[in-house]
Structure 1
């Protein structure tokens, strides 16, 4: 298996546990979320396979290198610009959402702007590093945090407070027609492969079939735990009343013999670094696409203009957004992202097939 590929997949799956995917799935638990989750698995696998097969035709190259000598410069600018916007928004939603979580559950008295500035300093430093170093940073974070996150999930699955009856009750709505909003949220769990547009520079050789089998099982496990465990702890109706179902679920767990008894503090501590690296990966992709679009003597100036836009948008989002507005925006953004992602991948797959031929 290629570990770099799996790192990107696992990172995206882990970050979606705490932000908006659980809330959306639980909201439509009686209206097609269960069938949407099941359908999302083959859709996510298919999109992953198509994109990986297409980009594998250009080994150790990202999109900037693939389109370096294209004659259609306007098409390149539009193509790269649209992807930059979506990857930036993906990181921005994660950033603003997690800042709201920290402010709500850790220190409500501290202004959000202070926490946001601390995160922005780290993110801006990381995204300017070479792609290889960003991957090393991701590897270290996952190596330290993933076993502990899996331990917390294990504690949740073996807890006496987990009601399997509530989970089975929601499961009885399997034959409801799939809900589009739930489907868009569920397929986003698999979207870590899209960062290969830059991180393919580090992928040596073709991806083996075992990588894609791992994606299926990881996606199935992630969607099951993300969707059903909060329902098992809070009930099929109670879980829908929570703004952040998994944060409240972590707060329901206790480690009796641990120096820190309340799991929520450990859970948020682990996710601080995971959130930092997830945002950095998305914004690094956006920044590298920008650098690949404009290769001229003013590229550094343009880079800092874009970084300034990143910072200003983040500050505006942190100061003027609220939880309800962010949730509503995320629902619509996930649907637009789903259509955009499918379109881009199909076009790129057909183009790569024709180009190689």
Structure 2
């Protein structure tokens, strides 16, 4: 079962390359981005290790189930609503950003809502599936996409056009104090463990997630690659001139294999699958938080057939995506995404505090029940 956990860690680390995490770091490359990455590695590793360990103390329980068991209903309702907003908005941001990228690089004259419609339709269909089905879909997509994406990343690392002097110059700002925006963006790379807020329901009792040293190794690799490789290709100054910097970076490489020549097309095709995976996961998680608001809701990780409420909730996310696309532009989207990164980072700390509280309360109840059983046996 631990391999499914690492699939989530891996795809969140990969998806940060396509969304606005690198762009945020590039805007702060002279103002603490490098030091923010160093701090994020330490904080992200500690939070990932601690949060994962605490979730394993509550096997087959999502965050909504844990909060429902140890908090008053009013607090549980607030946690579920906030969780639904954060996770649902994550999918909206990624769908909008990626559909804009596709339009810019494939067909700028295309109706901007056409590809958005295709992406949201696929996201809605995937998010309505049960948690077990989504977990299996993750495995298939990761096995198909990860080797090719890693091949492209290593091709960029060993490219003769990579300027290591520019990378060394950017490393010289490691002592600069980081900003909150850059730290929040760097922490997102480690956010894969947060999928346990729902998918912990699929982890049976006495399960151990071993080799957790993989988390800082993989996430640090993706963080450094997403930041330093574009700097090596475009320079410390020129890298800030691009909004879709990794799309431009992939178009700076060529592949001499068969009919494939420009890396850009392969890169965007692979990240189409990853974007759909991210949307499917986030909207499914938000859907489960919304359903948990009902007092009689009973979790069904292997639910079949799909209930109508799943369709209505996820279709509402698609409608909100179109409303956001009608309101947003590049500048508004950047500001919104940076605000979401900060809120998401704060929510990680809140989730950790909730789990710590629930762990101590459950241990206290367990000790109290043991004392009562012992007293009853002695009497």
1:355 is matched with 362
- Which residue of 307, 323, 328 maps to 2:330? 323
2:372 is matched with none
Is the Cα–Cα contact under 8 Å of residues 124 and 315 in structure 2 kept in the other structure? no
Following TM superposition, by how much is the alpha carbon of 1:303 offset from its aligned partner in structure 2, in angstroms?
4.9
Where in structure 1 do 4 or more consecutive aligned residues deviate above 4 Å?
Answer: 67-71, 299-305
Following TM superposition, by how much is the alpha carbon of 1:14 offset from its aligned partner in structure 2, in angstroms?
0.8
Q: Deviations over 1:36-73 (max 9, x none)?
A: 00000111111112211211111122234434556721
CA distance in 2: counterparts of 1:136 and 1:150, whole angstroms: 21
CA distance in 2: counterparts of 1:301 and 1:71, whole angstroms: 29
Question: Quick check: 1:313 aligned with 2:320?
Answer: yes
1:107 is matched with 107
Is the Cα–Cα contact under 8 Å of residues 112 and 319 in structure 1 kept in the other structure? no
For residues 51-62 of structure 1, the aligned pairs below 5 Å read 51-62=51-62
Is the Cα–Cα contact under 8 Å of residues 68 and 76 in structure 2 kept in the other structure? no
- Which residue of 348, 351, 354 maps to 1:341? 348
Following TM superposition, by how much is the alpha carbon of 1:170 offset from its aligned partner in structure 2, in angstroms?
0.3
Is the Cα–Cα contact under 8 Å of residues 170 and 236 in structure 2 kept in the other structure? yes
**Tell me, what secondary structure is at the counterpart of 1:7?**
helix
Is the Cα–Cα contact under 8 Å of residues 99 and 115 in structure 2 kept in the other structure? yes
1:167 is matched with 167
Is the Cα–Cα contact under 8 Å of residues 128 and 310 in structure 2 kept in the other structure? no
**Tell me, what secondary structure is at the counterpart of 2:18?**
coil
The runs of 5 or more residues in structure 2 that have no matched partner are 300-306, 365-379
**Tell me, what secondary structure is at the counterpart of 1:178?**
coil
Structure 1 residues 26 and 69, CA gap change in structure 2 (3 angstroms): closer
Q: Deviations over 1:68-89 (max 9, x none)?
A: 5567211111111101110111
For residues 78-227 of structure 1, the aligned pairs below 5 Å read 78-204=78-204, 205-211=206-212, 213-227=213-227
Question: Quick check: 1:47 aligned with 2:38?
Answer: no
**Tell me, what secondary structure is at the counterpart of 1:59?**
coil
1:247 is matched with 247
1:332 is matched with 339
Is the Cα–Cα contact under 8 Å of residues 290 and 303 in structure 1 kept in the other structure? no
Q: Deviations over 1:167-194 (max 9, x none)?
A: 0000011111122211000001111111
Structure 1 residues 171 and 259, CA gap change in structure 2 (3 angstroms): same
**Tell me, what secondary structure is at the counterpart of 1:175?**
coil
For residues 223-302 of structure 1, the aligned pairs below 5 Å read 223-294=223-294, 296=296
User: Which deviates more, 144-153 or 302-311?
Assistant: 302-311
Following TM superposition, by how much is the alpha carbon of 1:26 offset from its aligned partner in structure 2, in angstroms?
1.1
Structure 1 residues 220 and 117, CA gap change in structure 2 (3 angstroms): same
CA distance in 2: counterparts of 1:296 and 1:137, whole angstroms: 29
Q: Deviations over 1:96-130 (max 9, x none)?
A: 11011011111212212111111111111111111
Structure 1 residues 64 and 181, CA gap change in structure 2 (3 angstroms): closer
CA distance in 2: counterparts of 1:81 and 1:27, whole angstroms: 32
Structure 1 residues 168 and 8, CA gap change in structure 2 (3 angstroms): same
CA distance in 1: counterparts of 2:164 and 2:327, whole angstroms: 40
Size of the aligned set, in residue pairs, is 355
CA distance in 2: counterparts of 1:4 and 1:84, whole angstroms: 22
2:75 is matched with 75
Structure 1 residues 71 and 344, CA gap change in structure 2 (3 angstroms): closer
Q: Deviations over 1:302-354 (max 9, x none)?
A: 65553343122111122331122111211122112212221232232222232
Following TM superposition, by how much is the alpha carbon of 1:273 offset from its aligned partner in structure 2, in angstroms?
0.8
**Tell me, what secondary structure is at the counterpart of 2:50?**
helix
Following TM superposition, by how much is the alpha carbon of 1:208 offset from its aligned partner in structure 2, in angstroms?
3.7
Q: Deviations over 1:219-246 (max 9, x none)?
A: 1101110100000000000101110111
CA distance in 2: counterparts of 1:216 and 1:303, whole angstroms: 35
User: Which deviates more, 304-313 or 82-91?
Assistant: 304-313
